[in-house]
């Protein structure tokens, strides 16, 4: 008998795939196919089978053929039949299947006992209830066209909400048509440089995130390091570069804002050379000694690309960021992004738009600012009590602090921390390999990542890992 593939739809809406083949008539082939489906686990115990009349019609066989096959499998114990509940795979059928071979799993390595790495907020503090409320409202109010191809610029609702928020909270001057939504800061770099909108060389701060330098290197961009001092990046060292990437609100990772005179100087440089400033506003909302330092973009919107995301304020799991662009770059960025939104979920954009517009984002940021200020204060107090010889910098803002160490002690301190189950980074990990700036020893301690109950033990372990006076 020729092989045939048959799909039989159950009343409950599932499809049953059977292959009727082999010797004998249709009844024997159907019994074999059903028995094999149960034996292999494709039909799990408790699965309801299609009514025999429906299956017979789909198979093109007599009703009695299906009814007899069901009856025989019930008698053998493969199936059960009860009035009102239909024919189902028997629960004991699981015992009739051969034992499955359990694949060997790779060993699972436990994470660090104390995670003091920089870069991540407290995951346990994600505002689940408020986020869910915004998602529900966004879905209920969304027009049908939302579920079609997305606009590469991003949803208008989110760009409008960000226009208002960034102006109010960060001093950014823009309009919705000059904001392009992306999936984060690294994605923005890939669009700007990998997409051919901008070209190198690019001036960067002598200390920064190595991953960002790798993204730029992959795009063929050479980075030129600018030394740092107590006033931020030495923008007077800018040369023939056409663009510079800065963290002016809170230098990463050493801490401290870019001095007002240098803000003015870098914009003068950009105007004189027809250059551009890329402003990484990675944690501008979290300042503890005074009101947040405003964005450089507000001083000259046509010479600054303002880049931000919710990775620090909400969660890196929410893959949403934004570029606030000078008007002349909007079309080029959209061309690099493509005709359809391929990265940032449209539904997440609508949710974030509601989250911002409803005031839930402001409330969350204020709550977390208070929490992280408390974390910072506990870190400073613990060091003052147990390691007063260690200088702390960068504590006025952000989610991390830098512990200055005696010369030559950084590597051993990182090893001592690892021995105590602490994950953190040494300052050397962020140093640009081509900088001529004198090296400094230090530890970059993130105080946002641990949960509240884990933070105290983490501080105790950290103090025990620091070098003695």
Q: Are residues 313 and 121 in contact, defined by beta-carbon separation less than 8 angstroms?
A: yes
Confidence (pLDDT) at 103: 53
For 107-142, write each residue's pLDDT tens digit. Answer: 445 568 899 999 889 899 999 999 999 999 999 999
What tokens appear for 341 in the block? Answer: 């939104």
Q: Which residue has the higher pLDDT, 21 or 98?
A: 21
Name the residue with tokens 């392009």: 180
The whole-angstrom separation of Cα 225 and Cα 238 is 9
Which residue is listed with tokens 């839930």?
Answer: 360
445 neighbors 379 (Cβ within 8 angstroms): yes
Give the burial class of 416: count Cβ atoms within 10 A of its Cβ; 0-12 exposed, 13-18 middle, 19 or more buried: middle
Residue 291 has pLDDT above 80, yes or no: no
Say what the pTM is.
0.79
For range 436-460, the mean pLDDT: 92
* Per-residue model confidence (pLDDT) at position 97: 53
Closest C-alpha among 122, 119, 138 to residue 130: 138
Residue in this structure with the two tokens 């800018």, named with its chain if needed: 238
Q: What is the mean pLDDT of residues 140-166?
A: 93
The token duo for 138 is 């966004």
Provide, rounded to the nearest whole percent, the portion of the chain with pLDDT above 70. Answer: 92
- Rounded to 10°, the helix 410-419/452-465 angle is 130
Asked if the model's pLDDT at residue 6 lies above 50, the reply is: no
Distance CA 45, CA 7 (A): 20
Predicted confidence band at 160 (pLDDT cuts at 50, 70, 90)? very high
pLDDT, tens digit, 9 for 90 and up, residues 184-243: 999 999 999 988 999 989 999 999 999 899 999 999 999 999 999 999 999 999 988 999
Q: Residues 322, 180: contact at Cβ < 8 Å?
A: yes
Helix (H) or strand (E) holding 88: strand 86-89
Helix, strand, or coil (residue 175): coil
Rounded-to-10 torsion of CA 231, 305, 283, 120: -120
Give me the residues paired with residue 442 across strands. Answer: 404
CA dihedral for 150, 152, 157, 158, sign (positive or negative): positive
């Amino acid at each position: 008998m020729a092989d045939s593939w048959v799909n039989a739809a159950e009343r409950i809406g599932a499809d049953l795939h059977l292959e009727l083949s082999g010797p004998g008539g249709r009844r024997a082939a159907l019994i074999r196919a059903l028995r094999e489906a149960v034996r292999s686990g494709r039909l799990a115990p408790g699965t309801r089978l299609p009514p025999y009349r429906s299956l017979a019609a789909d198979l093109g066989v007599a009703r009695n053929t299906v009814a007899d096959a069901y009856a025989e499998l019930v008698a053998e114990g493969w199936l059960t039949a009860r009035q009102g509940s239909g024919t189902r795979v028997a629960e004991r059928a699981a015992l009739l299947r051969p034992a499955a071979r359990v694949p060997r799993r790779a060993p699972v390595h436990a994470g660090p006992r104390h995670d003091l790495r920089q870069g991540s907020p407290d995951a346990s503090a994600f505002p689940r209830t408020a986020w869910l409320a915004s998602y529900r409202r966004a879905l209920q109010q969304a027009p049908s066209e939302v579920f079609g191809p997305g606009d590469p610029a991003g949803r208008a609702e989110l760009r409008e909400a960000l226009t208002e928020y960034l102006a109010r909270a960060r001093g950014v001057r823009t309009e919705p048509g000059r904001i392009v939504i992306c999936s984060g800061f690294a994605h923005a770099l890939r669009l700007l440089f990998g997409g051919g909108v901008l070209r190198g060389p690019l001036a960067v701060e002598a200390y920064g995130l190595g991953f960002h330098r790798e993204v730029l290197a992959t795009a063929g961009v050479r980075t030129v390091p600018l030394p740092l001092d107590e006033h931020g990046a030495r923008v007077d060292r800018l040369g023939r570069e056409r663009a510079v990437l800065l963290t002016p609100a809170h230098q990463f990772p050493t801490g401290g804002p870019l001095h007002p005179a240098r803000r003015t100087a870098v914009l003068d440089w950009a105007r004189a050379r027809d250059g551009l400033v890329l402003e990484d506003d990675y944690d501008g909302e979290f300042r503890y000694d005074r009101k947040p330092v405003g964005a450089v973009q507000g001083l000259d919107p046509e010479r600054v690309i303002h880049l931000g995301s919710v990775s620090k304020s909400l969660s890196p799991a929410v893959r949403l960021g934004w570029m606030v662009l000078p008007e002349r770059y909007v079309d080029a960025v959209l061309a690099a992004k493509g005709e359809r939104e391929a990265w940032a979920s449209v539904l997440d954009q609508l949710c974030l738009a509601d989250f911002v517009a409803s005031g839930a984002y402001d409330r969350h940021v204020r709550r977390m600012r208070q929490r992280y200020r408390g974390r910072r204060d506990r870190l400073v107090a613990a060091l003052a009590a147990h390691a007063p010889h260690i200088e702390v910098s960068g504590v006025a803002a952000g989610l991390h602090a830098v512990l200055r160490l005696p010369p030559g002690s950084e590597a051993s301190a990182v090893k001592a921390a690892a021995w105590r189950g602490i994950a953190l980074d040494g300052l050397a990990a962020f140093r640009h390999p081509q900088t001529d700036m004198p090296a400094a020893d230090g530890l970059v301690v993130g105080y946002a990542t641990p949960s509240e109950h884990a933070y105290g033990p983490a501080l105790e372990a950290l103090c025990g890992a620091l070098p003695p006076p």
